[in-house]
């Protein structure tokens, strides 16, 4: 059973493009019977373990033929082994695989790859990446994808909101002395800028 029609955008995705499926559009979608999957893993980080467990559970649920390859200190031999198994798709889990996959995948365009929780900086047409907030590693030189930057922006917005919530109190703060702009008349309302405010959230 395929995903709903609105799972994919109406026009084909350009190379390195991103998309956000409509919520619920994947409900009921199942792969072809006995889909051959190789799960390539590296590292013992909590996120890697979680994704590995999730793939195993999914494979049991849909009846996929799942094989696993675990990479050691040098991931290239493990990636080569996974490719040589000629699976329908090679799934990867682990930030440490992102850079090596970026090197290898372009030379094996007939092998589909699904990168979980990460992105290749310059993916070829055979690579699909799935990431989300907190899981979008793009390699040592690029770090996390925009999800993390978006989270930092949200944190800054939250700090601004908290600062703005202090405005009524700041308007009632009266001082015989001014801020950086010079002295003010006694009794005037003083509203410090964020840089001046002694109560600025950190």
**pLDDT tens by residue, the chain, 202 residues:** 566 777 777 887 777 777 787 888 878 788 888 999 999 999 999 999 999 999 999 999 999 999 999 999 999 999 999 999 999 999 999 999 999 998 999 999 999 999 998 888 888 889 988 876 655 555 554 444 444 444 445 545 555 555 565 555 444 444 444 444 444 444 434 344 444 444 444 4
Q: What local confidence, expressed as pLDDT, does residue 185 receive? A: 42
Contact between 56 and 37 under an 8 Å Cβ cutoff? The reply is no
Q: What local confidence, expressed as pLDDT, does residue 82 receive? A: 98
Total residue count of the chain as it appears in this document: 202
Rounded to 10 degrees, the C-alpha dihedral 39/40/41/42 comes to: 180
Triad 84, 86, 89: Cα angle to 5°: 120
Supply φ then ψ for residue 24, to 5 degrees: 85, -5
Give the separation between CA 175 and CA 180, rounded to whole angstroms: 13
Give the separation between CA 122 and CA 21, rounded to whole angstroms: 22
Q: What local confidence, expressed as pLDDT, does residue 145 receive? A: 47
Q: What local confidence, expressed as pLDDT, does residue 60 receive? A: 95
CATH architecture of 31-148: 3-Layer(aba) Sandwich (3.40)
Q: Could you report how far apart the first and last alpha carbons of the chain are, in Å?
A: 50
Give the separation between CA 33 and CA 88, rounded to whole angstroms: 12
Query: Could you write out the DSSP letters of every residue in 32-100?
Result: PTT-EEEEEE----HHHHHHHHHHHHHHHHHT-EEEEEE--SSHHHHHHHHHHTT-SEEEEE-GGGHHH
Q: What local confidence, expressed as pLDDT, does residue 184 receive? A: 41
CB atoms within 10 A of CB 142: 13
Whole-Å CA distances, 132 to 2, 35, 56: 22, 25, 20
């Amino acid at each position: 059973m395929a995903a709903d029609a609105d799972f994919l955008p109406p026009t084909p995705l350009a190379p390195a493009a991103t998309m956000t499926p409509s919520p619920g559009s994947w409900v009921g979608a199942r792969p072809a019977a006995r889909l051959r999957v190789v799960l390539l893993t590296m590292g013992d980080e909590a996120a890697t373990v979680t994704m590995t467990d999730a793939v195993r559970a999914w494979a049991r649920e849909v009846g996929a033929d799942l094989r696993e390859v675990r990479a050691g200190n040098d991931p290239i031999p493990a990636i080569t082994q996974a490719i040589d198994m000629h699976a329908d798709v090679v799934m990867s889990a682990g930030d440490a695989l992102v850079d090596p996959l970026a090197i290898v995948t372009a030379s094996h365009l007939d092998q589909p790859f699904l990168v979980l929780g990460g992105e290749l900086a310059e993916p070829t047409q055979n690579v699909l990446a799935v990431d989300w907030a907190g899981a979008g590693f793009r390699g040592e030189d690029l770090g996390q994808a925009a999800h993390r930057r978006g989270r930092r922006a949200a944190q800054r917005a939250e700090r601004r909101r908290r600062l703005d919530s202090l405005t009524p109190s700041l308007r009632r703060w009266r001082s015989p002395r001014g801020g950086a702009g010079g002295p003010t008349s006694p009794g005037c309302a003083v509203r410090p800028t964020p840089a001046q405010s002694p109560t600025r959230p950190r």
